[in-house]
Amino acid sequence: MLEVDLLGPVEVRLSGELVSLSPLERNLVAILALAKGTVVSTARIIDCMWDERPPASPKSRIQGLISSLRRKIGDALVTRHPGYLLDPGACVVDVDRGQELARQSRLAKSPGEIAGWLREALAVWRGEPLDGVGAPGLEVDRVRLNEVRIALLEERFAAELDAGHHLRVVGEISAAVAEHPLRERLTGQLMTALYRCHRQADALRAYQALRERLAEELGSDPCADLRNLHASILRGQDAATSPPGEPARPGDLRPAQLPPSVGHFTGRDRELAVLSRALTAHHDEPQILLVSGAGGLGKTALMVRWAHLSAARFPDGQIFLDLRGEQTRPEDALAAVLSALGSSPEDLPATVDGRVALYRTLVSGRRVLVIADDAASVGQILPLVPPDPASQLLVGSRRRLPALAAHHAVQAVPLAPLSPQDTHALLDQIVGAQRLADPAVHRVIRWCGGWPLAIRTAAALLAARPGQSLTSFADELGENGDGPMLDGDPRSVQAALATAYRALSPAAAHLFVRLGLTAQPTFQLRRDAVDAQLSQTRRLFDELVAANLIVAAGSDSYQFHDVVHRFARRCGDEANAWRIPIESVVDLQRSL
């Protein structure tokens, strides 16, 4: 069994014996271990190892490192197109052990039991994570793992205080505050522990020291929760936790509503990195993370994957809402969030404004992740924006919602189809490499068009038909324009695109189907068109781009993704209804 330790000096053991690694081999092992069980492409490895300064012939360097490393660690290192992976059945990574212990703590019933599990989880850390690794692409992971440790430490101190162990942990909390002097939650825990040790003056001095540091370095005051705690200590009250035996108050609950991650998650390294960088950057105001893309592109899968990777950064809870497009009203979305935070139905304010005010009160100064999936409008999202940057709103939408930027800072993450390499890798994980040896696999990949839902549907059917040849299956796809359907699964790319199409204005819908009647997937506005027609058409193109039915490809240039173009052709019955001849406004061309 191969053992890889990342939470401290990076070390590798094979059958209990330490394996000697060169610095580059150590970097490579860390890259693969952080993605254990998932194929890491050669291109991704090169980016992680050298960033923008790769050596000459970087692919040859990687192949040489793989050969050298395989001689040292054996069959746990697997070659699989388009790169390599560590076999999860033959490899143990200490990060997984820490995550499992943290998960057990969330299932525990008593504060003492929670603290015990968290002590075990923290014991897995042996020092600075990824110590000895110099790959520039792993700096984000180093920051993430450090944040995980601090969050676990805060959770452990909270459980110890709930269990009445203030004397036991006051020294540890003091050391943690000295190491992380701007962590407001740690300072609050120190104040609580000191006060319960009958050291009221020291508790007040801890608050004053934090207040001065925040003012000097950030120009801000402590959060509302800490100010309230300070006032309670001044009055001689302990307001840090509910007294034993009392029910939890609204805001005391720590919801954990994340759905399970999708199986065989593949690709999206760039998008995951963008989301993580947005979280680690300093902000003094709320920022909305917006993942947008056409139906079936994997928005939910990406958000849930990232949320699980980042859950430790939100120790006060993770809330998941499915807004179901236009079906969910803002007041109903707020009711669901407030319920997750502990509010009973009879305590909910009747008005939207009242619910917004209560929501902001409950999350102020806390670190909560709210995921609003399948949002259809800005009006659904604005009431869910947290009052400060400690919490995070992550939105998934089939529309690009450009009006959001007029209200708040937005980090947009538009999704494109998967590359042919990632498509092949996903098919490989579900179907198996042997089945894909048939050259007809390239036809299947072209038909899928990089759409994760189409890829998964095709792969599931292939896996369910072990006797059908790939050539026969590719022929079937070509004959069936709508694509295959799975029994018991109503989802399809066609249905998702139809939802976006039905939401278009009549003029934009007519333009969409007229464009779909052409054989060309690319087109450009004509500069010699009548100004009024050109202006009107540009607005309609903006609407199609916002709906993720076409993509901008340059100055007044646009194009279809193959899957959307195939759908648009099927909508061609309405093409002649638009009053402006399309050729007078748009140049249709095969390539830009």
Instruction: Write the pLDDT tens digit of every residue in 263-319.
Output: 889 989 899 989 988 887 767 789 999 999 998 899 999 999 999 888 888 888 999
Predicted pLDDT at 58: 92
Query: What is the pLDDT at residue 315?
Result: 85
pLDDT one-digit tens code per residue, 506-539: 888 888 888 888 777 888 887 666 566 778 888 8
Tokens standing for 105?
A: 């703590």
Is the per-residue pLDDT at 479 higher than 70?
Answer: yes
pLDDT tens figures, 358-411: 999 888 888 899 999 999 999 999 999 999 888 999 999 999 999 999 999 999
Q: What is the band of 581 on the pLDDT scale with cuts at 50, 70, 90? A: low
Indicate whether 578 pLDDT > 50: no
Say what the pLDDT of residue 537 is: 82
Distance of alpha carbon 203 from the chain centroid: 38
* Three-state secondary structure readout of 482-500: CCCCECCECCCHHHHHHHH
pTM above threshold 0.75: no
d(CA 434, CA 466): 11
Which residue in the block uniquely carries the two structure tokens 């340059």?
554
User: What pLDDT, on a 0 to 100 scale, did the predictor assign at position 433?
Assistant: 87
Q: Are the CB atoms for 329 and 355 separated by under 8 Å?
A: no
Greatest mean pLDDT among 12-21, 305-314, 455-464 lies in 12-21
What does the alpha-carbon distance between residue 113 and residue 4 come to, in Å, rounded to a whole number? 28
Distance, CA of 206 to CA of 175 (rounded, Å):
12
Q: Say whether pLDDT at 248 is over 60.
A: no
Check whether 128 has a pLDDT greater than 60. yes
Q: pLDDT tens digits for 366-376?
A: 889 999 999 99
CA 110-114-115 angle, to 5 degrees, is 120
Give residue 488's pLDDT.
53
The CATH architecture to which 269-414 belongs is 3-Layer(aba) Sandwich (3.40)
| Beta partners for residue 522, in sequence order | 559, 589
Give the pLDDT score at 285: 87
Give tens-digit pLDDT for 66-104: 999 999 999 899 999 899 999 998 999 999 999 899 889
Count of other CB atoms within 10 angstroms of residue 574: 14
Assess whether pLDDT exceeds 80 at residue 584. no
Confidence category of residue 110, pLDDT binned at 50, 70, 90 = confident
Q: How many CA atoms lie within 13 A of 65 on its CB side?
A: 23
Handedness of CA 192, 193, 197, 202 (dihedral sign): negative
pLDDT above 70 coverage of the chain, percent = 90
Asked if the model's pLDDT at residue 235 lies above 90, the reply is no
- Residue found by looking up tokens 């506005």 in the block: 525
For residue range 198-233, what is the model confidence (pLDDT) as tens digits? 898 999 999 999 999 998 888 888 888 888 888 888
What stretch of H or E contains 169?
Answer: helix 166-179
pLDDT for res 253: 66
Please provide the average confidence, as pLDDT, over all residues in the chain. Answer: 86
Per-residue pLDDT of 25-72, as tens digits, reads 999 999 999 999 889 999 999 999 998 888 999 999 999 999 999 999
| pLDDT at 591 exceeding the cut of 90 | no
pLDDT higher than 70, residue 172: yes
Contact 228, 239 (CB under 8 A): yes
How is residue 266 written in tokens? 């593949």
Instruction: Give residue 242's pLDDT.
Output: 37
Determine the pLDDT at residue 441. Answer: 92
Q: 3-class DSSP state for residue 574?
A: helix
Specify the pLDDT at position 408.
93
Parallel, antiparallel, or unpaired for β 557-559 and 551-554?
Answer: antiparallel
Residue by residue, DSSP assigns 3-34 as EEE-SSB-EEEETTEEPP--HHHHHHHHHHHH
Per-residue pLDDT, 395: 97
Examine the pLDDT at 486 and tell me if it is beyond 60. no
Which residues contact residue 254 at a Cβ distance below 8 angstroms, ignoring those fewer than 6 apart? 315, 316, 317
Backbone torsions φ then ψ of 383, nearest 5 degrees:
-65, -20
